[in-house]
Chain A
Amino acid sequence: MKTKWKITPYLFLLPALVIVVAFRLIPIVMSFVLSFFDWSLQGTGRFIGLENYATMIHDPVFWQSLGNTFWLVVILVPATIVFSLFFAVLLNQIKYLKSLFRMVYFMPFVTSLVAVSIVWKLMFNEQTGLINTFLGYIGIAPQAWLAEPKGIFLLMFPALESLPRFFHGPSQALFAIIIMTVWKGLGYNTIIYLAGLQNISKTYYEAAEMDGASKFRQFWNVTVPLISPTTFYVLIMTTITSFQTFSQIYLMTNKGGPLNSTKLIVYYIYERGFDLLEMGYASAVALALFVLILTLTIFQRKMEKHVNY
Chain B
Amino acid sequence: MSKLRSIITYLILIIFGFTMVIPFIWMISTSLMTQSEFNKQDSLFIPKEEYHQWDNGETKERVILVLEKEETSIIHVLDSELAIVEEYKEVPSDEVHMIRKKPSFEFSNYVKAFNKVPFALYFYNTIYVSVLSLIGVLITSLLAAYAFARMEFKGRDFFFYLFLSMMMVPQPIYLISSYVLLDKLHWLDTYNALIIPWTANIFTIFLFRQHFKALPKELFDAASIDGCSVFGMLWRIVVPLSKPVIATASIFSLISSWNSFMWPLVMTNRPELRVLQVGLSYFNQEASTQTSLLMASSAFSIIPVLIVFFFAQKQIIASYAKTGMKD
Residues of A within 8 A of B (CB): 5-6, 8-10, 12-13, 15-17, 19-20, 22-28, 30-31, 34, 39, 41, 87, 90-91, 93-94, 97, 99, 101-116, 118-123, 127-128, 130, 133, 183, 186-188, 191-192, 194-196, 215, 229-230, 233-234, 240, 243-244, 246-247, 250-251, 266, 269-270, 273-274, 279, 282-283, 286-287, 289-290, 293-294, 297
Contact = CB atoms under 8 A, between A and B. Distances in A.
Contacts of A286: 172-176
List the 4 shortest-distance A-B pairs measured between CB atoms, nearest first.
A192-B324, A19-B200, A16-B144, A9-B153
A110 B305 contact: yes
Contacts of A23: 178, 181, 196-197, 200
A3 B320 CA distance: 41
B324 A196 contact: yes
Interface of B: 5-6, 9-10, 12-13, 16-17, 19-24, 26-27, 30, 38-39, 41, 44, 136, 139-141, 143-144, 146-148, 151-153, 156, 159, 162-163, 166, 168-181, 183, 196-197, 199-200, 202, 205, 230, 255, 258-259, 261-262, 265-266, 276-277, 280-281, 284, 291, 294-295, 298-299, 301-302, 305-306, 309-310, 313-314, 316-317, 320-326
B20 A183 contact: yes
B143 A27 contact: no
A252 to B, nearest CB: 9
A188 B256 CA distance: 14
A156 B171 CA distance: 37
Given A8-B230, A17-B159, A24 B166 contact: yes
Given A15-B139, A119-B295, A102 B180 contact: no
Given A93-B9, A192-B323, A279-B176, A112 B301 contact: yes
Given A246-B262, A286-B173, A28 B180 contact: no
Nearest to B199: A19
A25 B162 contact: yes
Nearest to A195: B321
Given A8-B230, A112-B261, A279-B176, A186 B147 contact: no
Given A9-B156, A113-B261, A195-B322, A34 B180 contact: yes
Given A191-B317, A195-B321, A229 B326 contact: yes
A12 B146 contact: yes
Q: Which secondary structure dominates where chain A touches chain B?
A: helix
A240 B170 CA distance: 8
A273 B175 contact: yes
Nearest to B178: A27
A27 B199 contact: no
A27 B277 contact: no
A71 to B, nearest CB: 19
B232 to A, nearest CB: 12
25 contacts: A9-B147, A9-B153, A19-B197, A20-B162, A23-B181, A25-B166, A34-B180, A41-B183, A87-B16, A101-B17, A102-B317, A107-B24, A108-B20, A111-B24, A112-B302, A114-B301, A119-B295, A121-B284, A122-B294, A123-B23, A133-B41, A194-B321, A215-B5, A250-B281, A270-B262
B13 A87 contact: yes
A273 B38 CA distance: 38
A261 B178 CA distance: 28
Nearest to B265: A250
Contact of A31 (B144, B148, B177): B177
B321 A101 contact: no
A122 B200 contact: no
Given A19-B140, A114-B261, A27 B172 contact: no
Contacts of A115: 277, 280, 298-299, 301-302
B295 A122 contact: yes
A9 B139 CA distance: 15
A27 B13 CA distance: 45
Contact of B163 (A20, A118, A188, A233): A20
B153 A187 contact: no
Given A12-B144, A41-B180, A183-B19, A24 B169 contact: yes
B169 A28 contact: yes
